Structure 1
Amino acid sequence: MGLRERKKEQTRRAIEDAAYALFAERGYQATTVADIAEAADVAPRTFFAYFPSKEDVLFADFDATATELAALLRDRAPGETTFDALRAWVAEQLPELEAQHDREALRHRLCEQHEAIAAHERHLMGRIEGIIAGSVAADLGDDPGALRPRMVAAAAIAALMAMRPDDPGTEATMSRQEKMARLDEALGFLSGGIATLQRNDTGQGAAEARPGR
């Protein structure tokens, strides 16, 4: 990373740090973009050069995360299912998520308190759902826009969101093994559903291949 890129990253992080600190101290509604810019020692126009809106500061790493997940699912090894790859990815992300627990907990609370933030999160998770649907479609031999991969992907997102405790403080006391056990239970359920769909496809294909059909 060159000097220019490092400087841009430092500015982005300064804006992020200032925003989270002010949201925690003053509350989301009471914090303006001008407040964040002043605390980060940048001009308001600089804020908007990095983030389209105040909500976007709370999801600053989303684009990089979505790009990483898409590449991981696209480049998975032959025979590796979507949910094998997804589990490995979540396991890799856990240390960073744990290090950012206070921010994750604050974002969770703000989503519960402010519909605009919750709606923004749902929109972004819709992008992740589309990425997963495309990968599941490859597993099933379906078109990415077909109903089955979209249903499985929606269930995967629901399962991942359901892993998040209603009380963010609960998550802080959970071991990494407990978190992965929750994930394994959810992904095991979803993998079983895909296996059933694949068996149904095999059975239907065999029936259609019988003489007289």
Structure 2
Amino acid sequence: MSDIQTLISQVQQEAQKEEFPIDIPVYKSARLEPTYPVLYAGNLQSPLCFFGRDLGRDEVHARQPLIGAAGKLVRQGFYQAIHQQSAASDQELQTVCDRILLTNTVPYKPPENKAYSTKVKERFRPFIERLLVIHWQGHQIITLGTEAFKWFAPYGEKGEVNNFFLDKERRYETKLAVNLKATDDLGMEYQKIIHLLPLPHPSPLNKTYYAKFPQMLQQRLTQIDF
């Protein structure tokens, strides 16, 4: 197995150790083993990652993060930035995966789309760390929503990530550098500086920002080398 396939297998082994909330009916309808992680989509060599909270129904069926209504808004915005026009088909839209990485705080779908508990997020944190630090070669992450951004709290100075997010005037316009760390199977430690560029989650339920999101995303992408 390749290194990334090993990581996926390790996530599944962890999921099999102890039960946690998974939306079993959705996995059954998708004919996907519920403990199989949908860890990422895209290019591990890409300079940019989009980081969300967890999977939805569409993501389980497609075996890809960020491919439902909100995810397509993200993908369409990135496609627009590259080609200066909208993708005319799902096939065209899928080509953005050649240029970006897509992943989440937890590679599973929670029941009723309720956020996973801190306990579950911490359980899978070491595997997400390995994905981002050891396997992915980029250094820029656009986080989508509050929970995705605050997942990075342990990698900043004490209180730095939360304090950054409290600045409502600037949090969606400025960057924050954090030192992301990971440990491999042999106990070897890795670290790299990551630049976080938070955005609100592009859900239709997010009435404050949903209409503004496409413009906010385009503004963010002007700050990024991709």
TM-score, structure 1 normalization: 0.28
Which structure shows the bigger proportion of residues in helix conformation? 1
Q: RCO higher in 1 or 2 (8 Å CA, sep ≥ 6)?
A: 2
Which structure shows the bigger proportion of residues in strand conformation? 2
Q: Which structure has the bigger radius of gyration?
A: 1
TM-score, structure 2 normalization: 0.27
